[in-house]
Amino acid sequence: MMQLFIPNSNVEAVILPQSGGYASLFMSQHDQGNGHNMASVNAGTSNAGYVFAVGLGGINLAIDRALTSSGQNTARYQAIHQALYDESGNDTTASKDGFTTTDPVQFVLMVKPDPAAALPKYDGIIFIDVFQKGQFPHQNQLNYGMVYVTPPNNQKYASNYANDSDFLKAVVVTSATVVAAVDLYNSKFANPGNANGLEIIETIRMCLFSGEIYRGGADQNDVAESNIKGLSSALAQGNSQIKTVEFEFTSAKNYLESR
């Protein structure tokens, strides 16, 4: 099998096998994968009344079910995310620790997209949610966290963008912000000997965003390409501790193999 890499980087790209049309969101209980801590990307929502929530539909609902099965109170995520966003004010990042064992997380980092990109209010915001100890999905500690993405919204009749081209540019920015957020977490908060005992995240399990109704009239292959372009632009800088990106969507395969 051809070994794939994120373009312009040494970061390995893996296309996950699919069962019943879907790839696994988290590793199974005894799956050690590549031995690295993994964070699964969740395409959340910026819909009014539900912004930053875990649940609803699509992959967000599937992740909600996986986290609930691990003992997490997923209803807490929306309030945790919103409070951190509100606290950030004009800052582009904010973080919080000191959670209790009744919370689903032990640490959260929020990163906003590059202000120069001028994305609509919530689009492109990333949260790094490090799961509470004892509440890892499938009781596998390597399922270390969730990368909650507020995806660009291009829904028909409710798009935040003038056209599909602007939407796809926003997807590139958002995907690059995923890398920036994980890199900031690894370098600033999970550095060796940190007071909170946080561990670095070296594997990202990537879902397609913005997919389904959120891509509007944009072609799914173009959305997949934009996801990868964003990853590539950020990882090309060469200073990331991310070693592997695992893709849950097969539409990434042809693009990666053609690079």
Residue 24 lies in a domain: no
Into how many domains does the chain fold? 1
The CA–CA distances, whole Å, from 232 to 10, 108, 112, 224 equal 10, 25, 19, 12
pLDDT of residue 8: 95
Residue 153 pLDDT class (50, 70, 90 cuts): very high
Do the domain assignments include residue 170?
yes
- 14 lies in some domain: no
Rounded to whole angstroms, how far apart are CA atoms 92 and 190?
19
Give this prediction's pTM. Answer: 0.96
* 173 falls within a domain: yes
Whether residue 10 is predicted with pLDDT greater than 60 in this model: the reply is yes
Q: Taking phi first (over 0 means left), then psi (-120 to 50 degrees means alpha), and beta for anything else, what does residue 155 get?
A: beta
For residue 134, being part of any structural domain is answered with: yes
Its domain, for residue 96, covers 35-257
**Mean of the per-residue pLDDT values for the chain?**
94
Q: Is 5 within a domain?
A: no
Looking at residue 42, which CATH number applies to its domain?
A: 3.40.220.10
- What per-residue confidence (pLDDT) applies to 103? 98
% pLDDT > 70, the chain: 98
- State the sign of the Cα–Cα–Cα–Cα dihedral 8, 12, 18, 23: negative
Examine the pLDDT at 84 and tell me if it is beyond 90. Answer: yes
pLDDT grade, residue 21 (50/70/90)? low
The confidence band for 212, taking pLDDT boundaries of 50, 70 and 90, is confident
Q: Is the pLDDT of residue 1 over 60?
A: no
Question: CA–CA separation, 154 vs 219, rounded Å?
Answer: 12
Percent over 90 (pLDDT), the chain:
81
Predicted pLDDT of residue 248: 84
Is 250's pLDDT higher than 90?
no
pLDDT of residue 214: 84
- For the chain, the distance separating the N- and C-terminal CA atoms, rounded to the nearest angstrom, is 16
Query: What average pLDDT score do residues 85-110 get?
Result: 98
- Within-domain flag for 51: yes
In a domain, 13, yes or no: no
Do residues 203 and 39 touch, judged by C-beta distance below 8 A?
yes
d(CA 230, CA 49): 28
Least confident stretch, 47-51, 68-72, 143-147: 47-51
